[in-house]
């Protein structure tokens, strides 16, 4: 596991990251697929995922897909909030989800949806 540092191109997408942010890295495909002729095209590509706090009762999940050279290809940013309205047996739990995702162009622009 690599600590988040400024020498990772993907890091700039979400800077500044809190000091305790720990990225999880995983290949984008299973070993069986990567061993196939088709999988060779994406060998070394990874999904980098970060779970971050989004404030009171919130969770932010950020995922960046990078190629074998570490260049970001796509990104998604999801924020989920949980809140309780009322108390006791009549309490209502509400969830809200906000997200943005898209691809990164070679010139550094981000084409996405919200």
Q: Check: CB of residue 110 under 8 Å from CB of residue 104.
A: yes
Residue 33 belongs to what H/E stretch?
helix 31-34
pLDDT band at 15 (very low <50, low <70, confident <90, very high): low
pLDDT tens track for 61-93 = 888 899 998 888 888 888 888 888 888 888 888
Say which DSSP state 17 is in: P
Asked whether the predicted pLDDT for residue 5 surpasses 60, the reply is no
Q: Which residues contact 59 (CB under 8 A, 6 or more apart)?
A: 51, 52, 53, 79, 80
pLDDT confidence of residue 57 = 73
Give the domain ranges of the chain: 9-106
């Amino acid at each position: 596991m690599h600590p988040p540092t400024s020498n990772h191109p993907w890091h700039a997408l979400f800077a500044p990251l809190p000091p305790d942010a720990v990225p999880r890295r995983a290949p984008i495909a299973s070993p069986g697929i990567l061993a196939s002729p088709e999988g060779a095209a994406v060998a070394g590509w990874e999904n980098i995922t970060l779970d971050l706090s989004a404030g009171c009762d919130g969770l932010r999940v950020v995922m960046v897909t990078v190629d074998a050279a570490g260049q970001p290809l796509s990104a998604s940013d999801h924020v989920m909030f949980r809140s309780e309205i009322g108390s006791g047996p009549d309490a209502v739990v509400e969830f809200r989800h906000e997200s943005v995702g898209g691809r990164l162009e070679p010139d550094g622009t981000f084409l996405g949806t919200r």
